Amino acid sequence: MDKKKIVFILNPISGTISKAGIPNLIDTILDKDKFCYTIAETKYAGHASELARKAVEENYDIAVAVGGDGTVNEVARAIVNTHTALGIIPCGSGNGLARHLMLPLNAKGAIEVINKCEIHDLDYGVINSMPFFCTCGMGFDAFISMKFANAGKRGPITYVENVLKEGLKYKPETYIIEDENGTKKHEAFLISIANASQYGNDAYIAPQASMRDGLMDIIIMEPFDMLEAAQVSIDMFNKTLDKNSKIKTFRSKHVRIHRTEPGVIHYDGDPIMADSDLDISIREKGIKIVTNPDADRKKRQPSKMQSAFSEFLSSIHSARMEVTDAVKGVSEEVASDISKQGKKVQQISKTIQNKLNL
């Protein structure tokens, strides 16, 4: 049997995990009876895509992205609709695609999955000609993506800080959404279009999304107040967001979205400015990906980020429940109590920020 050609495209500076020991792990763990391999390090922004395109030209069977979500997306965008499959050794803070596919989040486990070499044709999406693999969107999550990209430091703590600081100030927008079933107008905090289930860090924006069904999940998050925000966040981490009353979801192969003016959008967390008119569609079975054959038999433990943030949000949720109980039998005295509870939630938010800054 001919050996498969595989290239590991390693970004030495991306993500949050040191990659110094990964070449040695590859040499030790990779099944050399199945593969002949090379390792190529990226030198500058966009280099991962160049290396992936070269791998396609040289008939490599697999191009493995070794890095954070940015590196994964650079490699993936370069090999869509080709014979070359995407492999992932996740080294980032979010690891959205790797988590959706239930790949091991450690290098040793990820290489062992590659050894099994189970490759499937999966879907990807396109927004205004730009491929995405997990999600794209507009509104608050695109705004936060821009804030995150411009932050001096990266990682989940920076993301949470921005959400907490900016969430209450953000104003919802009006969108006109057109698909094969007609046209509707929505006021929304954000609109997310999901090919996969999560943003990363086990934050599930579309718990039921699949990369195998030829459809996108369109998530419309309606405006909500600070107290309702706690439940929205808890539901996102608990994979129950689709059951929240503030969430409207439908599936489609192709949508057009019009907003009142140009603004920021994101595709897989990468923010860019775009026109007021947006065209989003699915490319069914358009990318080959090395998947985990044991994924269905394994249940991933909650991430540290998920556990800590859920604990914080549970505190906010408790305050929300106190307010809900107080609303019964409204009076001037109760209204005053609600005001006090609102201040209590604000204080909890400040406490969260202080803890995250430690």
| Six token digits for residue 314 | 């549970």
Q: Which domain holds residue 149?
A: 130-284
Q: How far apart are CA 172 and CA 103, in angstroms?
A: 35
One domain for residues 14 and 151: no
Task: Judge if 143 and 241 occupy the same domain.
Answer: yes
Q: 3-state DSSP call for residue 331?
A: coil
pTM tops 0.85: no
Which of 116, 141, 169 corresponds to the end of one domain? 116
* Residue predicted with more confidence, 266 or 228: 266
165 contacts 286 by C-beta, under 8 angstroms = no
Domain presence at residue 90:
yes
Report the distance separating Cα 302 and Cα 292, nearest Å.
19
Q: In this structure, are 280 and 317 located in the same domain?
A: no
Whether 121 maps to a domain, the answer reads no
The reply to whether 332 and 279 lie within a common domain is: no
Read off the tokens for 128: 């205004």
Are 101 and 142 part of one and the same domain?
A: no
Going from the C-alpha of 145 to that of each of 136, 138, 154, 184, 320, the distances in angstroms are: 11, 10, 11, 26, 27
For residue 86, the domain's CATH number is 3.40.50.10330
Mean pLDDT confidence for 214-237:
80
Task: Assess if residue 166 is contained within a domain.
Answer: yes
Q: Give the whole-angstrom CA distance, residue 298 versus residue 281.
A: 31
Identify whether 290 is part of a domain: no
Mean pLDDT rounded to a whole number for the chain: 81
Tokens of 51: 């290396």
The pLDDT of residue 358 is 42
| Statement to judge: residues 136 and 272 lie in one domain | yes
Do residues 84 and 175 both lie within one domain? no
Q: Specify the number of domains making up the chain.
A: 3
Domain boundary pick from 116, 150, 170: 116
Do 136 and 247 reside in the same domain of the chain?
A: yes
Higher pLDDT, 243 or 308: 243
Check residues 233 and 59 and name the one with the higher pLDDT: 59
Q: Is residue 123 part of a domain?
A: no
The CATH number of residue 153's host domain is: 2.60.200.40
Contact between residue 227 and residue 323 where contact means Cβ atoms under 8 Å apart: yes
Residues 102 and 147 in one domain: no
Residue 204 maps to a domain: yes
For 303-324, the DSSP string reads: PHHHHHHHHHHHHHHHHHHHHH
pLDDT tens across 257-296, in order? 999 999 999 998 888 899 999 999 999 999 999 999 987 6
Residues 270 and 133: their CA atoms lie apart, in Å, by 12
Q: What is the dihedral of CA 51, 54, 56, 62, to 10 degrees?
A: -40
Of 255, 284, 313, the residue that ends a domain is: 284
Residue 264 or residue 87, greater confidence: 87
pLDDT of residue 58: 97
Asked whether residue 298 is assigned to any structural domain, the reply reads no
Asked if residue 238 and residue 155 are part of one domain, the reply reads yes
Q: Give the model's pLDDT for residue 73.
A: 93
pLDDT in tens, 175-222: 999 998 899 999 998 899 999 988 877 777 888 899 999 999 999 988
| Whether residue 58 sits in one domain with residue 35 | yes
DSSP, res 121: E
Asked if 93 and 172 sit in the same domain, the reply is no
With respect to residue 218, please indicate whether it lies within any of the assigned structural domains: yes
